[in-house]
Amino acid sequence: MLPNRRTAAAAIGAVALAGALLSAAPAQADGGSPAPAAPKSAKSAPEGDGAKAICKRLPKTETRVSAAINRLNGDVTVLGSVARLEQRVTNAQTAGHTEVHTYLNDRLTFRKSLLPTLQKRQDDLKAVSTWCSAQGSK
């Protein structure tokens, strides 16, 4: 009885292998390279501007922007503050670590540029908040 099971298993394996080889043959006959996939497209254009969702998320967004501004304006003891990074730049320069100084100074330049951007965003959010209140969405 045992040899019959082995024979049946071998036969099933051979049929599966032959099927796999036969199904791959037409793809090989086309020239070896598969056709490029069609680009994914959106199912439809957006229906609106997402105002309802923006109004819904507004309190969290205002909190996050305010926290970021407070962090950037913090003193030397606040992680992520401009003052703390300025101190690190000064320390690197004093220690003579020119590469570290350059790296930190570039980060400082970027971090300083974030502050006006976030302040503008905060002003924009105040206007959005007024609009949402007028719409009864807030």
Tell me the pLDDT tens digit for each residue of 80-110.
999 999 999 999 999 999 999 999 999 999 9
pLDDT (tens place) for every residue of the chain, 138 residues total: 445 666 666 667 666 655 655 555 555 555 555 566 666 666 777 678 888 999 999 999 999 999 999 999 999 999 999 999 999 999 999 999 999 999 999 999 999 999 999 999 999 999 999 999 998 755
Q: Distance (Å, rounded) from C-alpha 10 to C-alpha 116? A: 73
* Two tokens, residue 30: 């086309």
In a domain, 88, yes or no: yes
In a domain, 126, yes or no: yes
- Kindly report whether the global pTM for this prediction surpasses the value 0.75: no
Q: Which of 112, 114, 134, 110 is nearest to 122 (CA)?
A: 114
In a domain, 66, yes or no: yes
In a domain, 101, yes or no: yes
How many domains in the chain?
Answer: 1
In a domain, 98, yes or no: yes
In a domain, 11, yes or no: no
Q: Which of 92, 90, 63, 68 is nearest to 78 (CA)?
A: 68
In a domain, 9, yes or no: no
In a domain, 106, yes or no: yes
Length of the chain equals 138
Domain that holds residue 93: 54-135
